[in-house]
Structure 1
Amino acid sequence: MADLKYYDVILKPIVTEKSMNAMSEKKYTFSVNPDATKNQIKEAVEKMFPGTKVAGVNTMNLEGKNRRRGNTSGKTSKVKKAIVQLTADSSDIEIFEGL
């Protein structure tokens, strides 16, 4: 298990139509480090965004897709997504406010 700091856990937010609709229920979607655990993701969100309290974390491991370019074949890198549910009294995450 890797020694991850909280700023290494969350890589980027995922902005899709489905994730934007889930924001009304205080659910936010992030791309996270594949080695991160649910507890590390919870701790990272609470430290990076002050005033937030995490109620739960759901994670998905997505394997890389097969890709071809001419006669050469390979795989894209694997990705881990996390859907973070905030509590009702928690403040919203400002990174998504202008979208």
Structure 2
Amino acid sequence: MAVEEETILAARIEVPEHILFQEVTGNSALLNLNTETYYGLDEIGTRMWEVLGEASSVAAAAETLAGEYDAPVETIRADLVELVADLDARGLVTLSY
């Protein structure tokens, strides 16, 4: 079941204990120890991951990133919602409210 955009924007992400994160030269990899699968992030995805981990919500992360990348907040929100929905579907994050 897909999570709605407003629900994702209001959520804070949490990283389960079975997920390992490693950054290498700006890019990063997430490893799900339960499924033994990798998920790669490019430089922008890695920055999104970092900000999401610090922000009080996905919407707050979008505000921070919109300022950093001088991009419309609506565009950043859409990109973050897509990323978080994908990470959630793969079991790489959980959403808390």
**TM-score between both structures, scaled by the size of structure 1:** 0.31
More strand by share: 1
Q: Work out which of the two has the higher radius of gyration on C-alpha atoms and give 1 or 2.
A: 1
Higher RCO structure (Cα 8 Å, ≥6 apart):
2
Q: Which has the higher helix share?
A: 2
Q: TM-score, normalised by structure 2?
A: 0.32
